[in-house]
Amino acid sequence: MNQFKYIFVSIFTCLCLFGCKDDDLKLNANDFSDVTWYTSIAPGKPYAVAVGEHISFMDASQGVLTHHWEIDSGNYYLSPDFNSRDTLDKYIMEGVGTIIEDVTANVLFKKSGIQRVRLYNTFSEEVTYRGYDTLSAVQREDGIWVIDTAFQVDVYADIDPHVFILKNDEVIAELTEGTVIDEDKALWDTLEINAGDKITYIDSTKIGRPDYRLWKLVNNAITEEGASLEEITTTFHFEKLGNQGAGSVSIQRANEELPMANLNVQLPYIFKVKTPEIQPSVIVKYDGNEIFRLEAGATIPAESEWPIVDLSAGEKLEFIDVSTVGQTNNRTWKFSSGSLGNSTDSIAINQYWENGTHKVGAINAIRKDHDYLINGSKEVVIPLKVNVTTLDITPTYSIYYNDAVVFNFAEGDVVGDPSSWPIIDVQAGDKLVFKDETLKGSPTSILWELNNANPSTSTDWEVEAGYTVNATDAFEAGTVSWKREGMPIEDDNKSLPLPFYIQLLFPQEPTYINSDISQTGVGTNVLSFTVSENLQDIDSDLVKADFDVLVKQYGFEVSGINIKEVRLNQSSRKQVEIEFDAPIYNSDSIYVAYSGDMIKSLANVSLEHFENKLTVMQGKENKISGFVNPGFAQAIANNGGAYGWWTNVSTVSRYEGKSSDGDNACLQYLVANYNGSKISIQSTETINIMDELDEGWYEITMDFFIPEGVDLNTFKVQYRANWTNIPFDVSSIERGKWVQVSKAFYTTSTIGQGRQDFVLMINSVNDATGDVEFYVDNFRVTSVEKRP
């Protein structure tokens, strides 16, 4: 039975008692139970020691027939008279193997790792040990009872350092386990580095199982940003030239539960810090892709071995300075050909026109005005050539429909026989996008000539063309022409038919309004809406009379506003615009109806009628961005139940099961036999704080629900920044349904005033009579344009 036992002994007062001459332990055997043992490890502590330390074990069992201790080889017993303050090796019991029968075993641990100390006792009768665990004797076949247990001791080896040194992330030195460090510094290895090189120390020590280290760098070492001297890895650099020490590291076992250990290791290296040699490095890209790289320090091959890049006249190469060796901070490109002469840009783009094979040039990498290094430079030739050829214009273009490519003409394509051209189906009124992608031949201009399209011609490299003609047969798309003129190379031109047909489709689909009617922008007098199909041109004079427009402001009809024009939007045949001859304001409620048959799709299907659609007005800036819970959806346990609001009467409360917008909550007023007293809910200033308002007109909007039969006349809102009461006449609003009510109010500036909250209330006999029930939802405040 090999078990690890933690022994609690309340009377245990000395950890090193067995064999200690100065602190002998007097034990009375009659005080112990049938099976008992003690150790010099304090109760509750792990069995852990360092190599060269000892633990004492005493078997205090009674009635033992036989008894012995057994230890793993590599460890030793100490004589009973050993002195723990002396060199323990002097007290090793000679001639004794791994087993002894002494009552006390003083074990010297010389081997690291998990070591076992076994206790084997026999008894004539059953015995039980009761400690942290209960251990009962086991009966052998011969009837003898046996207690067989083992103590597992974790023995920690002496710390043996293992350290790596890296320069710019490459290992340049390794201090391995068992290395003997010579005291003569003249024998230490010299590590050549450049000023500014990143030096990294890595503690890879495993032997001795350390859990902490502290790097001790010399004064001239400058730690990198974020580096720690207590981590496994630390980084630094040198700026001062000359020989520099490597410092040292203290490697420790610092955990108080483990054997303490601290080894200070002098790192046996000398850094020879020198000024870095400049080594230029260059990347060359064509069309965004790397095609050549000059590595730092690379040997320049013979010119006959230089790679050659084939370019058409007008094409470009991108030269990128990626020099880092030598800490360069500037450069000069010296180009032998192309549009650039010299350049100091980190990225230089050179365009090539002259036919023939040319060297690209050289780079002079420069270090100047450095913080701690002297100025320097190095020029190297870039071992690369370009072979430039003037190419004919090689057409490349794509055609898009609804953002998808429906036709592509690529390099090497031919027009072919018209009988084999594809047909592209386009719904009448839709648009195709013609996008030129020609690079080879460097054209300077383009001309699209498009059949049955608007526009019919274009000199743009990308053109959007609409098709509205009543053409039922497929037709040729048109032609495209390119020119190259005024360039450093000879002129060229190319003209080709667009090798596909266009078939216009006129689907007999219903044509109906499928959007809100919205003001097109703040301050405009134009409304717009979209429909399901592309429309024919609109004759405004004939169509105006088919629209019925009603303009109201806060319930009062506004006169003198007439339709000036009805038209198609310039960019979309699915968008109708209505322009008025007088200003409209975002405080207006504008209702639009249509009942004619003169607005038709390209398939000649009339726009379906619609009635009294309320226009969405622009520029109503929400002023309660600081409000929480304006729709009363968020609950709280008290004060009426609506988070951010407060009331002290039970007649006002948050109500679930009804809302104007489906969020399942609103505010309920429920008053029996109303007597004219104030009944209100107030927004809490600490949570629901209103934005500060500039002087001007604002609008309060709420959703109201009044059941049938309720006599409610007036509902008030008090804005407490200036104690303004804003009454809402709700006497005639429709009962039994949610209705939106709005009211404008004017305020002087409230910026800097103490209060910015609201009270929602009824508070007089004129407001209501009888049993009062109503609901409020979605309280809002917006800035508005007040009609003069």
Please give the backbone phi and psi of residue 105, each rounded to the nearest 5 degrees, phi first: -120, 115
3-state SS, 169-227, equals CEEEEEECCCCCCCCCHHHCEEEEEECCCCEEEEECCCCCCCCEEEEECCCCEEECCCC
Number of alpha carbons in the 13 Å side-chain half-sphere of residue 21:
8
Of 509, 269, 531, 501, the residue nearest 407 (C-alpha): 501
| Among the listed residues 725, 757, 761, the one whose alpha carbon sits nearest the alpha carbon of residue 647 | 761
648 φ/ψ sector (left φ>0, alpha ψ -120 to 50, else beta)? alpha
The pLDDT assigned to 32 comes to 40
Give the type of residue at 533: E
Return the structure tokens found at 373: 């290094």
Predicted pLDDT at 231: 94
Query: Hey, how many other C-beta atoms are within 10 angstroms of the C-beta on 361?
Result: 21
pLDDT for the residue numbered 648: 85
CB neighbourhood size of 249 (10 A): 24
Q: Positive or negative, the Cα torsion across 14, 15, 16, 19?
A: positive
Contact (Cβ atoms closer than 8 angstroms) between residue 576 and residue 613: no
Spell out, as residue ranges, where the chain has pLDDT lower than 50. 1-33
Residue 751 has a pLDDT of 81
pLDDT for 16 equals: 34
Angstrom distance (rounded) from CA 326 to CA 258:
48
Compute the CA torsion angle 122, 126, 131, 133 (nearest 10 deg).
100
Closest listed residue to residue 742, CA positions, set 705, 713, 703: 703
Structure tokens at 203: 């503690």
Buried b (16+ CB within 10 A) or exposed e, 211-227: eebbbebeebbeeeeeb
Closest to 274 in 3D by CA, of 364, 137, 372: 372
Count helices and strands (H / E) in the chain: 1, 64
What gap in Å lies between CA 436 and CA 28, rounded to an integer? 106
Residue-level pLDDT at 630: 85
Residue 723's pLDDT is what?
83
User: How many Å apart are CA 489 and CA 311, to the nearest integer?
Assistant: 14
Q: What is the pLDDT of residue 619?
A: 86
CA-CA-CA-CA torsion sign (29, 33, 38, 42): negative
Residue 747: per-residue pLDDT? 86
Distance between CA atoms of residues 596 and 614, nearest Å: 19
What does the pLDDT look like over 732-756, one tens digit per residue? 999 999 999 988 888 888 887 777 7
Residues 255 and 177: beta-carbon distance below 8 Å: no
The DSSP code for 542 is: H
**Residue 695's pLDDT is what?**
86
pLDDT for the residue 488: 83
